[in-house]
Amino acid sequence: MFFVYTGAVGAPGFLSWSDVKALEAGGHEVLSHTVSHPNLQQVPDARLASEMRDSRARLEQELGHPIECIAYPFGSYDGRVVKAAADAGYRLAVIADGPSAVDASPALELPRWKMAYGEPLPLFVQRLCAP
Ligand SMILES: [Zn+2]
């Protein structure tokens, strides 16, 4: 899964829209990561709404299918951010750390394992096997 912030697509040093489409064609999912990657807890309501809505709309326009999942930049979220995600039409959202998601995990606050660049594979396996 690739979470893309749409404001960077096409900028120097970032993926182009044809790159993003190639990811999907290669079997990967492309999902929302807002427009400009702000800390969503620190932006006013109007910008919070537009970051969620405009990213989703652009991805849907470019990729031609519904986008229903977002990753909150920096894993930063609170109740206001979760409500904005729901209001923007997202069904799922992921945060930036564990524990593992379970059936009872809130759909707009799904945990996931953080894996930093350079971390060894055994550490990843250890995290997957942790209770
Ligand atoms: Zn990010």
**CATH 3.20.20.370 correct for 2-129:** yes
Question: Could you tell me how many residues make up the chain?
Answer: 131
Kindly report the pTM of this predicted structure.
0.88
- 35 CA distance to ligand 1 centroid (A)? 11
Task: Compute, in angstroms, the gap from residue 2 CA to the centroid of ligand 1.
Answer: 10
Residue pLDDT, tens place only, 43-101? 999 999 999 999 999 999 999 999 999 999 999 999 999 999 999 999 999 998 777 77
Distance 37 CA to ligand 1 centre (A): 6
For the chain, domain boundaries? 2-129
Ligand 1 centre to CA of 93 (Å) is 13
C-alpha angle with apex 68: 94 to 89, nearest 5 degrees? 105
Enter the tokens of residue 103: 């059936």
Q: Which of 20-24, 35-39, 76-80, 108-112 has the lowest mean pLDDT?
A: 108-112
Rounded distance from Cα 122 to ligand 1 centre (Å): 24
Please give the C-alpha separations between residue 36 and each of 8, 59, 72, 92, 113, in angstroms, as whole numbers.
7, 14, 11, 20, 23
In the chain, pLDDT over 90 holds for what percent of residues? Answer: 76
